[in-house]
A and B are shown apart, each in its own frame.
Chain A
Amino acid sequence: MKKKVFIALLILVFCFSGGGFYIVRSIEEVITNLENVITLHQVEFLRKDLWNKIKVVQTDLLLKDSPHALLTDPFIVHVEEMEKAARICQNCHHSEEVLQSLNHFQRQMDGYIKMLSRVYTVRANQARLAEERDTAFSMGEKTLSEVEQIVITSSEKISKRITRARNSIAETERLLYFLITAGPLLLILIAYFFLKQFTTSVDALLDATRKIQQGNLRYRVKEELPDEFQVLGSAINIMASSLTDQCQRMQQAERLAVVGELAAGLAHEVKNPLAGIKVSIEVLANELSLEQEDREVFLRIINEIHRIESLLKSLLSYARPPEPETSPLDLHQLLETSIKSVSYALINPANTARLIKDIEIVKDFSPDVPPVIADRSQLQQVFLNLLLNAIDAIPAKGTITISTRKESNHTVQISIADTGKGMSPENLHKIFNPFFTTKPKGTGLGLAICKRLIELHNGTIHVSSAPGEGTTFYITIPEKLQLQGITP
């Protein structure tokens, strides 16, 4: 936009200065033309003047021997004036043709002057005197007729040149009128162009903000806008999507708060009767002499009660996790502990010497991972959940790779990869939702809790997976957790 404005400004400056120059030039041209016309008139006048002066000399000549004759000196002055008038012509003209005819004229004039002198100085018989005078007079007449000729041809030329000058003046005038109308028109056009760009862009942006304001957070500015408006448009889009995120997060938080309330109340209410039930059942199971079959029923009841208890616990730790209790801890050590814990899960309960699955656990620990400040039990819970899920995903034989890495921005990344069955993309979207599970006895709270706890640590958890190609979870947590009073 800046560039466009600059270009428009340049065009305008160019137009104005060009117009200005043109006007000045036109004025100059008109002045030159007028000057030409004046000069032409002047030339015309000079020629007439010369003609008159020759006429005067001729008259002097005729009157020479009459009683009205002048003295010699005034006559000389007349001749001198005539000569001067003739010389003026010589001084002005430049065209070769004119110069030649003028030169011829000048020679004629010189001869005439010589003859005039002669008439005034000679003393002879009447016949010679008369002859001399007649010769001089006829030379004078010839000179006169030549001047007349020049006057006629030149006046023709002059009138032509005057018309030409007039025409050029008129043309200049027309062009000036054109400029006067075209200039503002161009200005209006440029202004219109800019206005239109402004208004359409501003309208589109205004519309977008209005829509978003009305709650349509999914609305995006899709129009192709020029220059800075495009930038503004995408800024609005980014704002809208972050608003959407924010909204979702707030909804989630709200939901969590409700669930937390509910879970806490439920846990509280259910825990005591459940404990009572459990104790009662245990007493009953010990005191009654029961058949092996019946005893197993009791054991199953106790088992189910355990499950209810752990579900309650899970629900509580998801909905209302305690504030992280931070302490410096060695991540590798923590991971080792977690691995050891899950390896118990692999032991076949029927035959403790055999494992239920053939799983190799690979540890790819980076030595430069620093101790982190975090909540030990919460991180452990995360690792356990992820490892258990990995084990669940592996059908019979597979590898779980646990790697750690120090990131550049004071964070640490822990990744847990398995060679299990992987996930379909639609499932991938839902795994962090509470109660999403594909397992018959699963609660669907494992990953939800993981996400919640990692977020409590200001970290992130991501997953990449494809069906049949295994799954990798990436956890990134800051080296040092800074608590900021997070409320569920």
Chain B
Amino acid sequence: MPGKSYQNCIILFAACLFFLLLSGCGEQQESKTGDVPVRTPTRTLKLGLIPEHDIFTQKKRYAPLAAYLSRRIDTAIELSVLSRYGNIIDNFVSNGLDAAFFGSFTGALAVRKLQVQPLARPEYPDGTSTYYGMIFVRKDSGIHHAADMRGKRFAFVDQATTAGWLLPLHFFKENGIADYRSFFSETYFTGTHEDAIYDVLRGKADIGAAKNTVFFRLAQSDSKVREQLQILVTSPLVPANALAVRRDLDEALKIKLQNALLQMDQDAEGRQILQEFGARRFIPTTENDYAPVFAYADKIGLDLATYDYINE
């Protein structure tokens, strides 16, 4: 009976086909081990950040830089964002920070009070490595002179900022406003430059003070900033937010850290991160760079060594 052998053939054939198909199906479950084991640095460097932008954005902005530095100096870096400029002086010690990007005023304070050692600061794409503070109002506010400001609301940034506090104080002194608290109907501290700018723009405050770099960065993404705000006064140039480390930090690590920052613009990855960060490169910074701040504080009559910014 030939039919039987045919059937056998067919069954065999079908079985072969089935196994072929099954073996074809199995190939998708290849392991996806693309992860490269990360070398975990042994030490941890605690790096403080001041709320130049909103605290979350600030952390995000510094994260790539911190990661890059961490790889370069072979040390884990832990970012700690502080909710207030001034906190950085207190927290530097209490939180056991090893380094921080200080603002010009906090930097100056830290140099005086904590004897921190500045290492480097960014140079902006336009070639500057300094900034200045500005006092601004809404164009439609009708405020042009100090005299127009009586009874208005003033938004400072923080008592530990040059732009957001020293400049206004200087301005008050120059214009004979002895007690700003009674002169203005309300004064408050927004905590960030951004908020000071937006508060004036949105009418939450009438007068604001902030630093030019933040102002112009915001102006780039939001045309209303330039269109609706009027800059009244500016401060002298002060050094940009610099990285300073505690003086007793391992000397080798200090040098490594400084070199890593200064040489960032020499490799592609570093350049990329710098570009995103908004800087061209890092330049060496010393205590001397804070001279304008000291001078400015002097003019106002602040003794930085004893200045207590929290007594508000």
Residue numbers of A with Cβ under 8 A of B are 5, 8-9, 12-13, 16-17, 20-21, 24, 28, 72-73, 76, 79-80, 83, 113-114, 116-118, 120-125, 128, 187, 191, 194-195, 198
Report Cα–Cα, A187/B8, bound state, in Å.
Answer: 12
Q: Which residues of A contact B55 (CB under 8 A)?
A: 72, 76, 117, 120-121
CB of B47 within 8 Å of the partner chain? no
- Give the nearest-CB partner of B10 in chain A: A12
CB of B123 within 8 Å of the partner chain? no
Q: 24 A-B pairs, CB-CB below 8 angstroms?
A: A16-B14, A16-B17, A17-B14, A24-B25, A28-B25, A72-B55, A72-B83, A73-B80, A76-B56, A113-B54, A113-B56, A117-B56, A117-B191, A117-B192, A120-B55, A120-B83, A121-B84, A121-B191, A122-B189, A123-B84, A123-B191, A125-B188, A191-B3, A195-B3
Contact assessment for B189 and A124 in the assembled complex, using a CB-CB cutoff below 8 Å: yes
Closest beta carbon of chain A to B63's beta carbon, Å: 10
Q: Which residues of A contact B81 (CB under 8 A)?
A: 72-73, 76
The proximity string for B residues 50-89 relative to A, scoring 1 for CB distances below 8 Å and 0 otherwise, is: 0100111101000000000000000000001111100000
Contact assessment for B3 and A9 in the assembled complex, using a CB-CB cutoff below 8 Å: no
Contacts beyond the supplied A24-B21, A121-B192, A191-B3: 10 A-B pairs with Cβ under 8 Å: A13-B14, A17-B14, A24-B22, A28-B25, A118-B54, A118-B190, A120-B191, A121-B54, A121-B84, A122-B190
Contact assessment for B188 and A122 in the assembled complex, using a CB-CB cutoff below 8 Å: yes
Q: Which residues of B contact A117 (CB under 8 A)?
A: 51, 54-57, 191-192, 195
- Give the nearest-CB partner of B25 in chain A: A24
Q: Which residues of B contact A125 (CB under 8 A)?
A: 186, 188
B182-201 residues at the A interface, CB under 8 angstroms: 186, 188-192, 195
Report Cα–Cα, A124/B205, bound state, in Å.
Answer: 12
Report Cα–Cα, A24/B24, bound state, in Å.
Answer: 10
CB of B248 within 8 Å of the partner chain? no
Q: Which residues of B contact A114 (CB under 8 A)?
A: 54
Contact assessment for A17 and B17 in the assembled complex, using a CB-CB cutoff below 8 Å: yes
Contact assessment for A80 and B56 in the assembled complex, using a CB-CB cutoff below 8 Å: yes
Report Cα–Cα, A80/B81, bound state, in Å.
Answer: 12
Q: Which residues of A contact B13 (CB under 8 A)?
A: 13, 16
Contact assessment for B14 and A20 in the assembled complex, using a CB-CB cutoff below 8 Å: yes
Q: A117-B192, A121-B84 are in contact. Are A194 and B3 (CB under 8 A)?
A: yes
Report Cα–Cα, A116/B83, bound state, in Å.
Answer: 11
Q: Which residues of A contact B14 (CB under 8 A)?
A: 13, 16-17, 20
Report Cα–Cα, A73/B54, bound state, in Å.
Answer: 13
Contact assessment for A76 and B59 in the assembled complex, using a CB-CB cutoff below 8 Å: yes
CB of B312 within 8 Å of the partner chain? yes
* Residue in B7, B14, B59, B80 whose Cβ sees the most chain A Cβ within 10 Å: B14
Report Cα–Cα, A21/B22, bound state, in Å.
Answer: 10
The proximity string for B residues 224-250 relative to A, scoring 1 for CB distances below 8 Å and 0 otherwise, is: 000000000000000000000000000
The proximity string for B residues 1-40 relative to A, scoring 1 for CB distances below 8 Å and 0 otherwise, is: 1110011011001100110011001000000000000000
Report Cα–Cα, A178/B106, bound state, in Å.
Answer: 80
Q: Which residues of A contact B98 (CB under 8 A)?
A: none
Closest beta carbon of chain A to B57's beta carbon, Å: 8
CB of B158 within 8 Å of the partner chain? yes
Contact assessment for B51 and A121 in the assembled complex, using a CB-CB cutoff below 8 Å: yes
Closest beta carbon of chain B to A5's beta carbon, Å: 6
Report Cα–Cα, A100/B55, bound state, in Å.
Answer: 27
Contact assessment for A122 and B59 in the assembled complex, using a CB-CB cutoff below 8 Å: no
Closest beta carbon of chain A to B170's beta carbon, Å: 20
Contact assessment for B21 and A20 in the assembled complex, using a CB-CB cutoff below 8 Å: yes
Which of A20, A76, A118 makes the CB contact (< 8 A) with B17? A20
Closest beta carbon of chain B to A227's beta carbon, Å: 13
Q: Which residues of B contact A118 (CB under 8 A)?
A: 54, 190-192, 195
Closest beta carbon of chain A to B61's beta carbon, Å: 13
Report Cα–Cα, A12/B186, bound state, in Å.
Answer: 91
Q: Which residues of A contact B186 (CB under 8 A)?
A: 124-125, 128
Closest beta carbon of chain A to B2's beta carbon, Å: 7
Contact assessment for A122 and B56 in the assembled complex, using a CB-CB cutoff below 8 Å: no
Report Cα–Cα, A12/B9, bound state, in Å.
Answer: 11
Q: Which residues of B contact A8 (CB under 8 A)?
A: 6
Report Cα–Cα, A113/B194, bound state, in Å.
Answer: 14
Q: Which residues of B contact A195 (CB under 8 A)?
A: 3
Report Cα–Cα, A98/B202, bound state, in Å.
Answer: 31
Report Cα–Cα, A9/B7, bound state, in Å.
Answer: 8
Which of A9, A76, A116, A194 makes the CB contact (< 8 A) with B10? A9
Q: Which residues of A contact B25 (CB under 8 A)?
A: 24, 28
Report Cα–Cα, A427/B195, bound state, in Å.
Answer: 136
Report Cα–Cα, A198/B191, bound state, in Å.
Answer: 99
Closest beta carbon of chain B to A139's beta carbon, Å: 14
Report Cα–Cα, A121/B190, bound state, in Å.
Answer: 6
- Give the nearest-CB partner of B57 in chain A: A117
Q: Which residues of B contact A13 (CB under 8 A)?
A: 10, 13-14
Q: Which residues of A contact B312 (CB under 8 A)?
A: 123
Q: Which residues of A contact B51 (CB under 8 A)?
A: 117, 121
Closest beta carbon of chain A to B90's beta carbon, Å: 13
3 smallest CB-CB distances across A and B, nearest first, come from A121-B191, A124-B188, A117-B54
Contact assessment for A21 and B21 in the assembled complex, using a CB-CB cutoff below 8 Å: yes
Report Cα–Cα, A24/B25, bound state, in Å.
Answer: 8
Report Cα–Cα, A28/B24, bound state, in Å.
Answer: 12
Closest beta carbon of chain B to A22's beta carbon, Å: 11
Q: Which residues of A contact B2 (CB under 8 A)?
A: 5
Report Cα–Cα, A289/B13, bound state, in Å.
Answer: 112
* Residue in B25, B57, B81, B158 whose Cβ sees the most chain A Cβ within 10 Å: B81
Report Cα–Cα, A12/B12, bound state, in Å.
Answer: 12
Closest beta carbon of chain B to A257's beta carbon, Å: 49
Contact assessment for A123 and B54 in the assembled complex, using a CB-CB cutoff below 8 Å: no
Q: Which residues of B contact A116 (CB under 8 A)?
A: 56
Contact assessment for B80 and A122 in the assembled complex, using a CB-CB cutoff below 8 Å: no
Q: Which residues of A contact B10 (CB under 8 A)?
A: 9, 12-13, 16
Contact assessment for A121 and B3 in the assembled complex, using a CB-CB cutoff below 8 Å: no
Contact assessment for B56 and A79 in the assembled complex, using a CB-CB cutoff below 8 Å: yes
Closest beta carbon of chain A to B209's beta carbon, Å: 14
Q: Which residues of A contact B192 (CB under 8 A)?
A: 117-118, 121
* Residue in B1, B10, B21 whose Cβ sees the most chain A Cβ within 10 Å: B10
Q: Which residues of B contact A20 (CB under 8 A)?
A: 14, 17-18, 21
- Give the nearest-CB partner of A28 in chain B: B25
Q: Which residues of B contact A80 (CB under 8 A)?
A: 56, 59
* Residue in B14, B56, B189 whose Cβ sees the most chain A Cβ within 10 Å: B56
B123-167 residues at the A interface, CB under 8 angstroms: 158
Report Cα–Cα, A338/B55, bound state, in Å.
Answer: 142
Report Cα–Cα, A117/B189, bound state, in Å.
Answer: 13
Q: Which residues of A contact B195 (CB under 8 A)?
A: 117-118, 121-122
- Give the nearest-CB partner of A6 in chain B: B6
Q: A13-B13, A72-B81, A113-B56 are in contact. Are A5 and B6 (CB under 8 A)?
A: yes
